[in-house]
Amino acid sequence: MFGMIFKLSVRAVERWMPDPLLFAFILTILSAIAAIVLMGTGPVELVNYWGDSVWELLAFSMQMVLIVVSGFVLSTTPLFSRMLTQFASLATSPVKAILLVSLGALTASWLNWGLGLIVGAILARRIAARVPQVDYRLLVASAYSGWIVFHGGLSGSIPLLIATPDHFLVDTIGVIPASETIFTAFNLFIVISLFIAVPAINLLMLRGIDKPVCVDPEKLKAEDSFPVDPGNETLADKLENSWLVSLLIGGAAMFYVIYCLVTGKSGLNINTINLLFLALGIILHGTPRRFIAALNEGIKHVGAIVIQFPFYAGIMGIMSMSGLSSALSDFFIQVSNADTLPIWSFLSAGVLNLFIPSGGGQWAVQGPIMMEAALQLNADLPRVAMAVAWGDAWTNLIQPFWAVPILAIAGLKARDIMGFCMMQTFASGVLVISGLWLF
């Protein structure tokens, strides 16, 4: 039964799922139609909602570009290349390959969501070069499926936000520490369950693949290397080959990151991760010339990110300004009580996430509604907040917005992996609901 469902899922997605950019176009049209039909939004208003919001994610888009490029640059340094190759050498069979990528992505994602986006994809490339008989689509899907635990981990945007003294809902719900969200029994149950279930399901899917889709290992190796001109004839050449220049610039950036973490000026977030990756890349490549060569190669992987994210910003604007997102949340509130509100919060967040795939953006829209409902129904505030967080993470498995950086590094399309991820969506939904309900 599992094998039949899995094969149907993969075939359906490969046949019907469009390119991520076209997916964004379709979601834009659907959200516009819903705003007109359900909320009575006029065409002129609708276009203004979209246009006023389309550039709201520019900073975020640049962060995503940098995490792909900086992660690629760091992975191609001689030191990290040797480390990744050594770790990849543990994979001597397709089973071990899937297991290592799944657990590596889960661990990195729980520690930091930005780190999780990169580590799994790079591991998948390196391991595929070593175990060419493994299905490359499933290997990359294993990397992405491990990302689901990020919102229940140390860098989850919603639990960290409500633990901040001056967050925007502090007058309504106060400050909720991480001990009541991230480190609760129900959240740890969900995380541990996913650490077991995600690799297990990936291995089950591996067994169900009749004809694996493999990739030429020489192609992967070639893309992870690049020529560097060793010339040192002019002053410019000497500067480009100067380890001192790299050490000064990279060392200063590294000092700033460490200073921010030690003094509490800034935590381990996407900006510090990006700067840390860049600093290490500059230092470990040894010379500016090697760094620039790796940078130019990494830039090739970010084209899809640049154009897609503005369209999702426009969708967010339509959903929030037209009142669609509030209406969706209100519907789930009406059918809830104190015990079932976390479940309906999770489900509504999963649906809303398809249109607003940014955790912070979704909480800004849905958070006030769900927290007010929790107060009215006398429901568990931290549990409801984490239910929204897990709902946001849950449908990321079938929403290609966050898969773009991983797909860019892996060199695949969304339809190549989403069929596999759909199976993880079913299983993880059951586990999250169980954790919210039973503990």
pLDDT at 162 over 60: yes
What is the reported pLDDT for 155?
76
What is the reported pLDDT for 428?
95
If one compares 205 and 167, the residue with the highest pLDDT of the two is 205
- pLDDT category of residue 33 using cuts at 50, 70 and 90: very high
If one compares 438 and 308, the residue with the highest pLDDT of the two is 438
If one compares 275 and 200, the residue with the highest pLDDT of the two is 200
pLDDT at 225 over 60: no
Residues 187, 190: Cα–Cα separation, whole Å: 5
- pLDDT category of residue 110 using cuts at 50, 70 and 90: very high
Its pTM stands at 0.79
If one compares 39 and 12, the residue with the highest pLDDT of the two is 39
Average of per-residue pLDDT values in the chain: 85
Largest CA distance in the chain: 75
How many Cβ atoms from other residues are within 10 Å of residue 111's Cβ?
17
pLDDT at 347 over 90: yes
Of the listed ranges 101-110, 198-207, 370-379, the one predicted with least confidence: 370-379
- pLDDT category of residue 370 using cuts at 50, 70 and 90: confident
Mean pLDDT of 69-85: 82
If one compares 376 and 114, the residue with the highest pLDDT of the two is 376
Cα of 181 vs its chain's centroid, Å: 20
- pLDDT category of residue 268 using cuts at 50, 70 and 90: low
Mean pLDDT of 55-82: 80
Residues 67, 57: Cα–Cα separation, whole Å: 15
What is the reported pLDDT for 270?
67
Here the contacts of 34-41 (C-beta below 8 Å, separation 24 or greater) are 34/324, 35/318, 35/319, 35/322, 35/324, 38/324, 38/327, 39/322, 39/323, 39/324, 39/327, 41/322
Of the listed ranges 19-28, 174-183, 371-380, the one predicted with least confidence: 19-28
Domain regions of the chain by residue span: 2-224+237-241+287-438
- pLDDT category of residue 296 using cuts at 50, 70 and 90: confident
Residue 434 · residue 25 · CB < 8 Å: no
What is the reported pLDDT for 227?
58
The residue type at 49: Y
